[in-house]
Amino acid sequence: MSMKAWTSAASTRPPHQRLRCRVHAATLPLLFPRGELGWHPGILRGDAPAVMAGDAICSYCVMEGNNLRYLQNHQRDIRAECYQGLYDAVAGGVADGRDFGQCVILPSRFVGGPRYMQQCYKDAMAIAKLDAAAEDLRSSAKNCTVHTFAADVTDYAQVCEALTAAHLCVGHIDILVCCAGSSRPGRFLEQDLSAFRWTMDLNYHGTVHTVKAVLPHMVAAGAGHLVLVASAAAVCGIVGLSSYCPTKYAVRGLADSLRNELLASGVRVSVAYPPDTDTPGYAAEQKTKPPECHAFSRAAGDVLYSPEQVARCMVHGIEAGAHHLPSPDFGQNVMIAASAGLTPRRYPVALECLLAPLVVLALRLFGWVVDSAVMKAARLRA
């Protein structure tokens, strides 16, 4: 049935039914099922449950006349964007319908206030998680005001828009924590170049975009604190993470450079090195890591820390004004201290000089252990 036929039929119905019909008229051509199965290959064969995205949109958005007219007038673009969202997800490693789960598939070009979804279903999921985290903070912390602003950090224009809104809402930004990041594990020879570009865009360029948008305000105010989140992978290369480790080395290099550049500005710079942390991102990585990467982790102790442990160490380091923020992994802290270069040292110089020979021997032994584990796993795979 054509769009015109749907809207004409709706004009004879009561007001509440007219709204529902208009919503379905606008969204029916999307033909995207949702629910427990989410997206799955059966959609291409037509055997998916015929539940339309209209219900999901009704649940998550306040549908106004201008939004409906936009949907009606841009069906071709909207369908293309939805298909692109699915393609990007599959290209990013999503192969099981359960990974989409209860996700909401929405077009990117909703108009109106900031509550409308900005890019695709990924943004809908991210905004929902952001809102849930904000509610947790409001309910658990006393006298705490929480505002949320969503942006794709790989898009500098979006970052500037979101941070301008934040600046207008809360005033001067005292601390900026750049922690957006992800990884696509895989062997270097088997990964496509797009994985390297995607990871660098998100992990490194996303950090650059965010700092670029906020730093001028901090410098003008003569105060502020930048916290750039690198990784344990910023101090040692790891098999299976060749598209990830360089991005975190780059983040660390950026933090060290900015610290030196901003010495006279009143703006402090810190860099954090979270070890393996129990997060949804870490769980997703385990599905695609090669056996050698798992062998490396086991040889290193295979310790998984809680987000609370990692965050607590970071906060203590920020409060102490440290450049290299501590983590709950003592061995990792020693490696970072041993590679501090010209940046501020974490431990007293006398103690580092005294322990230097032992640290060198310990790191050499640790390197031999993990290299042996990786070689053994490689031989087993072959």
Q: What is the pLDDT of residues 337-370, one digit of tens each?
A: 888 888 888 888 888 888 888 988 998 998 899 9
Report the distance separating Cα 94 and Cα 84, nearest Å: 14
pLDDT bucket at 98, cuts 50 / 70 / 90: very low
Residue 3: inside a domain, yes or no? Answer: yes
Sheet holding 175-178, edge to edge: 175-178, 224-229, 267-272
Residue 319: inside a domain, yes or no? Answer: no
The model's pTM:
0.68
Q: What is the pLDDT of residue 355?
A: 85
- pLDDT, average across residues 56-73: 49
Task: Collapse the DSSP code of 144 into the 3-class scheme (helix H, G, I; strand E, B; otherwise coil) and give the result.
Answer: coil
Average pLDDT across the chain, whole number = 75
- Structure tokens given for 241: 């993470």
Residue 39: inside a domain, yes or no? Answer: yes
Residue 98: inside a domain, yes or no? Answer: yes
Question: Does the pLDDT value for residue 40 go beyond 70?
Answer: no
The DSSP bridge partners found for residue 224 are 267
Residue 38: inside a domain, yes or no? Answer: yes
Domain that holds residue 56: 1-150
Residue 199 buriedness (CB in 10 A; 0-12 / 13-18 / 19+): buried
Question: Does the pLDDT value for residue 161 go beyond 50?
Answer: yes
Highest mean pLDDT among 108-117, 143-152, 250-259: 250-259
Ordered alpha helix ranges (H), 96-236: 97-100, 121-140, 156-170, 193-200, 206-221
Count of structural domains, the chain = 1
Q: What is the pLDDT of residue 256?
A: 95
Catalytically active residues are 244
Report the distance separating Cα 175 and Cα 195, nearest Å: 31
pLDDT bucket at 124, cuts 50 / 70 / 90: low
DSSP 8-state assignment for residue 189: G
Summarize pLDDT for 231-263 with one digit per residue, the tens: 999 988 899 999 999 999 999 999 999 999 999
